[in-house]
Structure 1
Amino acid sequence: MTTTMENPKDVQKDAIVPTFSRTNPFQAKILKNLNINGEGSSKETRHIELSLDGSGLSYVPGDALGIVPSNDPELVASLIEEMHWDENTAVTIGKNGETLPLNEALTTYFEITLITKKILQQAAAFTENEELQNLLSVENAAQLKEYCYGRDLLDMVRDFGPWKATVEEFVSILRKMTPRLYSIASSIAANPGEVHLTIGAVRYTAHGRDRKGVCSVLCAERVTEGDTLPVFIQANKHFHLPESHETDIIMVGPGTGIAPFRSFIQERAVNKATGRSWLFFGDQHAASDFLYQEELEKYQQDGVLTKLDTAFSRDGEEKVYVQHKMLENSKELFEWMENGATFYICGDKERMAKDVNDALITIIETEGSMDRDAAEAHLKDIQKQGRYLRDVY
């Protein structure tokens, strides 16, 4: 009898391959970073392609990519200047007592763009500012909530000083930076060793200052091709393609909500799926905001995408949204659903997802000749069958 011995070198090599995760992200090289909005658009949407070579990471359509971002250096500098701190002071991070220079800690480790009730409560110990004590009183709960919305740490230190705390005491009240999750916009079967993202740059003015989304503006302004981003895969078990390639799918994804559906369509093209697919896409202007237009139209010509309905809200006298396009196609949409199609929504939770849900109930009510309650119950049944899936934020 012969036994085969593993080569000790191979064993050793396998043992040291790191597992990349949320706590140990992979430094993914940026292959492409493009603004895919056209001239004249009020938006900036980045299409980013990252290399996963050497990471051992994989994903399925519907999964998300986590990015561990860093804060805007200008915001960090303003905070340090406002507090008259020394950027080189060593401060403690984490529970194990590791230290980093203040500048680096505020850039890479601490969350400084969001403030919470808890942070304000803890900060109140470092100041005698009556306005802050007043804001934290029980009867001012509504004002406190309003204050936290859209403000950051720099606002807090400017509004409620003078401060009597060491740098160490002050950073001890801050939360650790949380990774930002983005729906993956590619199929690994169609793009081996790569992951693509569709990220809308968040910029707005509030309380007299220009604000920037931590991760979206990092991607839009501060990283270019050849740089790396720390990433990990976040599985999304509740948003995936049907197991059968024969199942029809209906996808509603305006704006950056298109991302997972680009991955769905790419995957189905590779798998030569026979099920029909129908995409509802919307944005402001057809000329500048039709994301992935050429790709989608080519998929439609090739028969991979059966139907493509678009709603561009600012192109006509009246605002037209994806839910209006659904209602225009109510008879056919109901037939697809009754024949077993899976319905997907991706995008804005507050308004769009609610409006699309209401439109879907109206379609079931009208085409199924039932009252509103029965239509809602019917949609709940479809959801229980796993045929109504939402990825909303």
Structure 2
Amino acid sequence: MSSSESGFSRKNPFPAVLSVNQKLTGEGSNKDTRHFEISLSGSGLKYEVGDSLGVFPSNTSPLVDLVLKNLGFTGEEQVTTADGTPASLRAALTTSYILTEPSKQLLQAVSEKDSSGAFLADLLKPEEKGSLENFLWGRDVLDVLEEFSAARFTPEEFVKVLRKLQPRLYSIASSQRAVGESVHLTVAVVRYKVEHSQRQREGVCSTFLSERSAGGVPVFVHSAKHFRVPENTDAPVIMVGPGTGIAPFRAFLQEREATGAKGPNWLFFGEQRAATDFLYQQEFEAAVSSGLLQKFTTAFSRDQAQKIYVQNRMIEHGKELFEWLEKGAYFYVCGDAKNMAKDVDAALHTIVEQNGGKSVDEAREYIDALKKEKRYRKDVY
């Protein structure tokens, strides 16, 4: 059953239980990347590899407490939530509204309530988009309330200028054929500091999963039909997944093994350091030993003087990669859309030019043909 067939969906998420919370990165890593296993027992939820899991998080209690204190509220005040249901202000701020990013409505209200914030109205003009982004960077709702302390709100006024808290989508890191009534995720826990404040900032959903999920994890399955394994199980598969972009390819390999797919698999994985950031190292090395993974190419950017990334490794192996494409390989990439996916795409064009003896235009046509044949698939964010 899909989300809709099971009765659970984005509008009616399943109250799942987090059963495994395992840190994947080692001591000394710059990152805290975790493996989560969530039980779907009793839900009837089904997913395919390539799908994402939607998770509804809640805000941290310390941040909610600080916002309430700043506004002079107890938290017991009754308000109407974004869904139109009554709730205490504390409950609404915890589960219904975004506190980590100020809304435009909040900035507009502050500009009218605090004369020192009058300039915020100008930042909201379409032509000031860049200036608004610069102002908002590193600021949350509490920062704005502290900076413009003359702006006061009633509880109902306040929630009306906040945006609704949205679910986060995570690429699923498991095949249901391999793990049954469970779903696995690979998540980098986000924590950082900003120059203007001593308060640590946190990713809402990543820290919810790692620290605040004891009361249950509301989830739903988000289908991604564009990112499936090839129906032809004999087709070769090339997967490029640096960092947490590895998640769906762990699922792909589980699926290919479970279905007895004969096609060869080639995985590119990248991170900062092999000693501390080699996610699922034992699993992938075992897959190489068993023959499930024919080629496993890694790029650890900080392990040598010159940084090396997955796109560099692709070009190093360009001749063989092009041969795989010529044999009908499907090419998948998952991860950062802003930089990595563009760099991987550029490397793919270079490989086709250099190893296919093609001009820039011919390489573009070749890759466009891959896309039309649905042999070039992306899951980027």
Q: Answer yes or no: is 1:56 the counterpart of 2:44.
A: yes
One-letter identity of the residue aligned with 1:231: V
Specify which of 332, 341, 347 is matched with residue 344 of structure 1: 332
Question: Which whole-Å CA distance do the structure 2 matches of 1:118 and 1:165 have between them?
Answer: 13
Specify which of 211, 221, 246 is matched with residue 211 of structure 2: 221
Specify which of 218, 223, 229 is matched with residue 241 of structure 1: 229
Specify the alignment match of 2:298 in structure 1.
310
Q: Secondary structure, in 3 states, of the residue corresponding to 1:189?
A: helix
1:364-379 pair list within 5 angstroms: 364-379=352-367
Question: Which whole-Å CA distance do the structure 1 matches of 2:71 and 2:60 have between them?
Answer: 17
Q: Answer yes or no: is 1:106 the counterpart of 2:93.
A: yes
Specify which of 365, 369, 372 is matched with residue 381 of structure 1: 369
Question: Which whole-Å CA distance do the structure 2 matches of 1:262 and 1:133 have between them?
Answer: 47
One-letter identity of the residue aligned with 2:350: T
Specify which of 149, 156, 163 is matched with residue 144 of structure 2: 156
One-letter identity of the residue aligned with 1:248: P
Q: Is the 8 A contact 1:117 1:145 kept in 2?
A: no
Question: Which whole-Å CA distance do the structure 2 matches of 1:346 and 1:140 have between them?
Answer: 33
Q: Answer yes or no: is 1:211 the counterpart of 2:201.
A: yes
How far the C-alpha of 1:134 sits from its partner, in A, is 4.8
In the TM superposition, what whole-angstrom CA distance separates every residue of 1:204-242 from its partner, at most 9, and x where no partner exists? 112423210000011222336xx5211100001111101
Specify which of 87, 106, 130 is matched with residue 75 of structure 2: 87
Query: Structure 1 vs Structure 2: percent identity of aligned residues?
Result: 47
Q: Answer yes or no: is 1:44 the counterpart of 2:32.
A: yes
One-letter identity of the residue aligned with 2:213: V
How far the C-alpha of 1:149 sits from its partner, in A, is 2.8
- Aligned alpha-carbon RMSD (Å): 1.6
Q: Is the 8 A contact 2:330 2:375 kept in 1?
A: yes
Question: Which whole-Å CA distance do the structure 1 matches of 2:129 and 2:95 have between them?
Answer: 32
Question: Which whole-Å CA distance do the structure 2 matches of 1:57 and 1:145 have between them?
Answer: 39
Question: Which whole-Å CA distance do the structure 2 matches of 1:316 and 1:286 have between them?
Answer: 11
Q: Is the 8 A contact 2:59 2:204 kept in 1?
A: yes
Question: Which whole-Å CA distance do the structure 1 matches of 2:128 and 2:253 have between them?
Answer: 50
Runs of 5+ unmatched residues, structure 2 = none
Q: Secondary structure, in 3 states, of the residue corresponding to 1:340?
A: coil
Specify the alignment match of 2:174 in structure 1.
186
Specify which of 139, 162, 177 is matched with residue 165 of structure 2: 177
Question: Which whole-Å CA distance do the structure 1 matches of 2:83 and 2:338 have between them?
Answer: 36
* TM score, norm. by length of structure 2: 0.94
Q: Answer yes or no: is 1:361 the counterpart of 2:349.
A: yes
One-letter identity of the residue aligned with 2:104: K
1:316-331 pair list within 5 angstroms: 316-331=304-319
* TM score, norm. by length of structure 1: 0.91
Specify the alignment match of 2:286 in structure 1.
298
Q: Is the 8 A contact 2:103 2:163 kept in 1?
A: no
How far the C-alpha of 1:46 sits from its partner, in A, is 1.0
Question: Which whole-Å CA distance do the structure 2 matches of 1:164 and 1:223 have between them?
Answer: 33
Larger radius of gyration: 1
Question: Which whole-Å CA distance do the structure 2 matches of 1:137 and 1:384 have between them?
Answer: 40
Between Structure 1 and Structure 2, how many residues are aligned?
A: 374
Aligned CA distance change for structure 1 residues 55 and 78 (closer, same or farther; 3 Å): same
Q: Answer yes or no: is 1:273 the counterpart of 2:258.
A: no
Aligned CA distance change for structure 1 residues 231 and 247 (closer, same or farther; 3 Å): same
Q: Secondary structure, in 3 states, of the residue corresponding to 2:179?
A: coil
How far the C-alpha of 1:132 sits from its partner, in A, is 2.9
How far the C-alpha of 1:141 sits from its partner, in A, is 4.0
Runs of 5+ unmatched residues, structure 1 = 1-16
Question: Which whole-Å CA distance do the structure 2 matches of 1:140 and 1:195 have between them?
Answer: 43
Q: Is the 8 A contact 2:8 2:43 kept in 1?
A: yes
Select between 34-43 and 355-364 the one with higher mean Cα deviation: 34-43
Q: Secondary structure, in 3 states, of the residue corresponding to 1:238?
A: helix
Question: Which whole-Å CA distance do the structure 2 matches of 1:89 and 1:392 have between them?
Answer: 41
Specify the alignment match of 2:270 in structure 1.
282
Question: Which whole-Å CA distance do the structure 2 matches of 1:122 and 1:277 have between them?
Answer: 55
Q: Answer yes or no: is 1:34 the counterpart of 2:18.
A: no
Aligned CA distance change for structure 1 residues 236 and 137 (closer, same or farther; 3 Å): closer
